[in-house]
């Protein structure tokens, strides 16, 4: 007899087929059977009548690298049914750490505060994974090794090309990370230090990923009028190395002049000779660290306190990032809501435009004032900005090869992460998708939406035993009420426990039971094929 029987539910198994009435049994951390109602038995029975039983959701684009090290419970993820996170995206990563990069890594991770520096007990990528395993995690963690952390390890924030010896060292570090359990490599080519890399460097560093059949996930160089060239570069890296390709939050920015360029870029990705996917979160606003707007790389290559001192210099106004200049011209910058102010939280939810009026400053001056106010925690000054036009978002959400992801952190209701958030996705992207775009508007069928949040992202990172409700698969399972599922999060209110997510299992252990967080830590860290 199975350990657990989920009886009377509607199964959406993750493979895209129609929902079916079925019972599900779980034993020894795996799905034991999926059968017709009334045909299975279990030692413990949960009546899930009227509810949907699906695989646990896989967030293929997470920035929870350090928040999981601070608090492994991942409450904001499991509360919305996320059972697996892929960390290390956009070139932002916490390992490896070298003597060259030790003082720089914490200043290049959105949301990392100086008070949490003691959480960094590792140097190598294997040591980082071991630290998470020793602490315990509430979700499965399958990380990417971040190109930004790699480049910091050998060159800091220098803008020069890397030498052959440095590239060889990076390839060795990538191989070490993959052997320890990383599922691929990420780049952040709009951000320091990734923007200093040329295509040849990216191909060289991604080589070991392709050799091992891994994923290349790229926050590409441009999502405005140069988006075609940016997509072509990503496809070139995947083609030359054999990596699977993931284009991160690949929706054109509202400041883009010619929409046809965007569709041309998407077509380029779809023509990639390796498996290629794109992703999107179901909100028009997304997170951006304020320092990326105004702080040039030349001022970043220093310890945290020195960079904070440099931010007091208003001559930085002469070096504004072009994207911020464009946002100023289009009015988007004024509509940015503060997600985290790097301080006491009193600015959270306010817009840059509101503060400009209240403080009688220009928008660039407001940004510098916030960064100076944050002091050593300047990289915890994060805004949610209007990154997608609504019609572009809806188009992407209807495309079968756009995986649905979060782009956020893991948060908590208590403990060191209480009150800390980066974007609406932290607590709400899954219920937003299921409630607004599936149930209320019917934009995407339920089975398709579930597949694009479960089996599809699992396959993209090389998992063959998760993301599907079928015998033998790991028992990452969600039970949700389709009538009640929902979220109250918005760009000015980032923390809200979702409704309608009633049961969540990670490797067969309940992390949510009867709608309540259990605090269990059953997640695995790192992927080792076979």
The domain ranges of the chain are 2-55+466-517, 288-386
User: Each residue of 299-314: pLDDT tens digit?
Assistant: 788 888 888 888 777 6
Per cent of the chain over pLDDT 90 is: 81
Is pLDDT of 530 > 60? no
- pLDDT of 330 reads 65
- pLDDT of 325 reads 67
- pLDDT of 300 reads 81
* Angstrom distances, CA of residue 437 to CA of 232, 380, 396, 493: 31, 31, 12, 20
- pLDDT of 460 reads 98
- pLDDT of 101 reads 95
Q: Which CATH architecture has domain 2-55+466-517?
A: Roll (2.30)
Q: How much is the pTM?
A: 0.96
Is pLDDT of 336 > 80? yes
Q: What angle do CA 230, 62, 175 make, to 5 degrees?
A: 75
* Angstrom distances, CA of residue 254 to CA of 114, 278, 282, 387, 428: 34, 18, 16, 7, 23
- pLDDT of 481 reads 98
User: Each residue of 406-455: pLDDT tens digit?
Assistant: 999 999 999 999 999 999 999 999 999 999 999 999 999 999 999 999 99
- Picking from 278, 488, 492, the residue whose alpha carbon sits closest to that of residue 385 is 492
Average pLDDT value for the chain: 94
- pLDDT of 478 reads 98
- pLDDT of 351 reads 94
Is pLDDT of 104 > 60? yes
* Angstrom distances, CA of residue 119 to CA of 111, 115, 199, 210, 308: 14, 9, 34, 32, 21
| CA–CA distance, 483 with 468 (Å, rounded to integer) | 23
Number of H helices, E strands in the chain: 18, 21
User: Each residue of 377-386: pLDDT tens digit?
Assistant: 988 999 998 8
For residues 39-63, give the mean pLDDT: 98
User: Each residue of 177-229: pLDDT tens digit?
Assistant: 999 999 999 999 998 999 999 999 999 999 999 999 999 999 999 998 899 99
- pLDDT of 329 reads 63
């Amino acid at each position: 007899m199975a350990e657990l029987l989920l009886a009377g539910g509607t199964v959406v198994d993750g493979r895209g087929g129609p929902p079916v009435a079925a019972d599900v049994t779980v034993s020894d951390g795996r799905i034991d059977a999926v059968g017709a109602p009334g045909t299975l038995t279990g030692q413990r029975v949960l009546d899930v009548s009227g509810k949907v039983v699906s695989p646990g959701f896989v967030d293929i684009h997470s920035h929870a690298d350090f928040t999981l090290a601070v608090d492994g419970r991942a409450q904001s993820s499991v509360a919305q049914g996320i059972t697996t996170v892929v960390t290390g995206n956009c070139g932002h990563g916490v390992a490896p750490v070298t003597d060259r990069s030790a003082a720089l890594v914490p200043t290049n991770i959105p949301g990392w505060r100086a008070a949490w520096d003691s959480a960094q007990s590792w140097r190598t990528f294997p040591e980082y994974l071991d630290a998470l395993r020793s602490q315990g995690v509430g979700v499965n963690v399958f990380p990417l090794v971040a190109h930004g952390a790699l480049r910091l390890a050998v060159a800091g924030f220098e803008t020069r090309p890397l030498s052959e010896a440095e590239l060889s060292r990076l390839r060795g570090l990538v191989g070490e990370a993959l052997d320890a359990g990383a599922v691929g490599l990420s780049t952040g080519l709009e951000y320091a230090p990734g923007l200093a890399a040329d295509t040849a460097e990216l191909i060289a560093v991604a080589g070991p990923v392709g050799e091992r059949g891994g994923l290349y996930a790229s926050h590409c160089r441009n999502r405005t009028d140069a988006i075609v060239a940016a997509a072509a570069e990503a496809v070139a890296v995947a083609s030359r190395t054999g990596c699977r390709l993931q284009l991160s939050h690949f929706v054109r920015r509202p400041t883009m002049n010619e929409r046809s360029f965007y569709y041309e870029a998407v077509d380029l990705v779809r023509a990639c000779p390796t498996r290629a996917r794109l992703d999107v979160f179901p909100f028009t606003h997304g997170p951006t660290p304020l320092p990326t707007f105004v702080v040039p790389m030349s001022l970043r290559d220093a310890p945290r306190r020195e960079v904070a001192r440099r931010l007091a210099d208003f001559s930085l106004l002469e070096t504004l990032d072009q994207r911020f200049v464009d946002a100023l011209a289009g009015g988007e910058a004024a509509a940015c809501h503060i997600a985290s102010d790097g301080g006491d939280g009193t600015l959270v939810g306010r817009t840059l435009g509101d503060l400009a009026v209240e403080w009688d400053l220009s928008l660039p001056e407001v940004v510098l004032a916030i960064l100076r106010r944050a002091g050593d925690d300047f990289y915890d000054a994060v805004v949610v900005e209007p990154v997608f036009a609504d019609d572009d978002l809806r188009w992407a959400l209807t495309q079968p090869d756009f995986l649905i992801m979060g782009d956020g952190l893991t948060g908590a209701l208590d403990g060191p992460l209480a009150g800390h958030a980066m974007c609406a996705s932290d607590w709400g992207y899954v219920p937003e998708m299921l409630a607004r775009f599936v149930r209320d508007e019917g934009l995407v069928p339920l089975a398709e939406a579930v597949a694009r949040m479960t089996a599809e992202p699992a396959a993209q990172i090389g998992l063959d035993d998760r993301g599907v409700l079928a015998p033998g698969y790991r028992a990452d399972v969600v039970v949700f009420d389709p009538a009640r599922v929902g979220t109250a999060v918005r760009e000015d209110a980032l923390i809200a426990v979702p409704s309608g997510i009633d049961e969540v299992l990670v490797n067969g252990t309940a992390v949510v039971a009867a709608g309540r967080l259990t605090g269990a830590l059953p997640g695995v860290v790192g992927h080792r094929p076979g």
